[in-house]
Amino acid sequence: MRKNYFLSLIFLLMLFSCKDEKMEGVEVESSFVNFEINAVPYAKLSTYAFFTGELKNLTPSSKVIPYEPASSLFTDYALKKRFIWMPQGVKATYDADDKTLNFPVGTVLIKSFYYNTVQPNNTTKILETRLMIRKSTGWIFAEYMWNDEQTEANLVTGTDFTSGSSKNLTFKKENNEVMNIDYRIPSESECYACHKLDNKPVPIGVKPQNLNTTYNYEGGVKNQLQKLVNEGYLLSYPSNIVSTVNYKDTSKPVDIRLRSYLDINCAHCHQQNARCDYRAIRLSFSQTTNLTNMGVCVLADEPQGPSLEKIITPGNHNKSVMSFRLNSVDESNRMPLLGRTIVHDEGVELLKQWINSLNQNCP
């Protein structure tokens, strides 16, 4: 009897020992996003638990998926890290190549703006994190401003949210030019001005045409749309998407690069039922195969003088209003009006190359 007892005891010890060894080989999810749709936006960015470890490292928690559009919106040379999170059991759906994915209620789009060459010591500094949260009534904005210690980002409220604010910053560009700027943190109305479509706030960059490109995830390089499908965030997408390109990619034709640049930087305003739909041009990637939509030989609504009458004068960037506006920082002239306070030299040069390559004769 005693012998059977000891044999049973040894068997149980071996059984639990085997179970422990097996558990050590299982990847256990150690972080969970904290999201209660009726309680958001939270007062602090850390409350969501979108990121693990030190907040400033922006290391995404499980199911917080990084993404990057083929071309990036210019924001005074700020770098950006973007992420998508969705509640369990819901999926986005595809509508069209050039339409924002149809995201379900509870989706959060996360975008942090930072510089990694802040002077005098080339340090990294995150300035703001913007959230777009999909509620049952539509999308809302939540703006978080980072503290100087880079330990927390606090919800912008009060006059800072209604009027916006600025932060002085000195940084070094890739060409080693040192620039001092008053970085603009937008007000709610400024956010809405760019994100307005059909009198509703909508995301800008998360369109199939912009995401149909690869991203180097922690587990390897993968198409971003396929990654969303694999993660259970997207139902499906077609295989023949007409896609934008990285405007910095000089291996691509200059017209495709410029159309991609204008799409991400300008089309959210210059489209039907958007902020600048009263203007003659339509700058969505799907519409700029038509040169008239890009303003070629089209008289500007507001000519800038006898030599600056057409939006695009083929072969002459100096006589093209669009080139003039991209090269201006004057709020009464610059394009885009919001989102930048300095000239994007590379964007201006790209537009110049394209205009000077045209050889049409205007009537």
Domain boundaries, the chain: 45-230, 247-363
Model confidence at 198: pLDDT above 80: no
User: Would residue 108 be called left, alpha or beta, if left means φ above 0 and alpha means ψ between -120 and 50 degrees?
Assistant: beta
pLDDT above 90 covers what percent of the chain? Answer: 72
The mean per-residue pLDDT over the stretch 40-63 comes to 97
Task: Please give, one letter per residue, the 3-state secondary structure of 22-83.
Answer: HHHCCCCCCCCCCCCCCCCCCCEHHHHCCEECCHHHCEECCCCEEECCCCCCCCCCCEEEEE
Answer yes or no: is pLDDT of 185 > 50.
Answer: yes
Which amino acid makes up residue 81? K
Name 73's Cβ contacts closer than 8 Å, sequence gap at least 6: 204, 205, 264, 265, 339
pLDDT of residue 23 exceeding 70, the answer is no
Q: How confident is the model at residue 274 (pLDDT cuts 50, 70, 90)?
A: low
pLDDT, one tens digit per residue, over 108-149 is 999 999 999 999 999 999 999 999 999 999 999 999 999 999
Nearest to 50 by CA among 86, 79, 91, 78: 86
3 state DSSP class of 316: coil
Strand partners, 24: none
Tokens representing 287 are 């519409």
pLDDT bucket at 191, cuts 50 / 70 / 90? confident
What backbone torsions phi and psi does residue 299 show, to the nearest 5 degrees? -65, 135
- Sign for the CA dihedral angle at 330, 332, 335, 340 comes to positive
Is 314 within 8 Å of 363 (Cβ atoms)?
no
204-216 pLDDT, tens digit per residue, is 999 999 999 999 9
Mean per-residue pLDDT over the chain, rounded: 88
Q: What is the DSSP string of 155-223?
A: E--HHHHHH-EEEEEEEE-TTS-EEEEEEEE--HHHHHHHHEETTEE--SS--HHHHSSEEEETTEEEE
CB 142 within 8 A of CB 131: yes
Q: How confident is the model at residue 6 (pLDDT cuts 50, 70, 90)?
A: very low
Q: What six digits make up the tokens of 2?
A: 């005693």
Degrees to nearest 5, angle at CA 187 with 272 and 166? 125
Predicted TM-score (pTM) of this structure: 0.88
How far is the C-alpha of 285 from the C-alpha of 266, rounded, in Å? Answer: 10
pLDDT at 42 over 70: yes
pLDDT bin (cut points 50, 70, 90) of residue 36 is very high
Least confident of 55-64, 140-149, 186-195, 346-355: 186-195
Q: Which is higher by pLDDT, 306 or 243?
A: 243
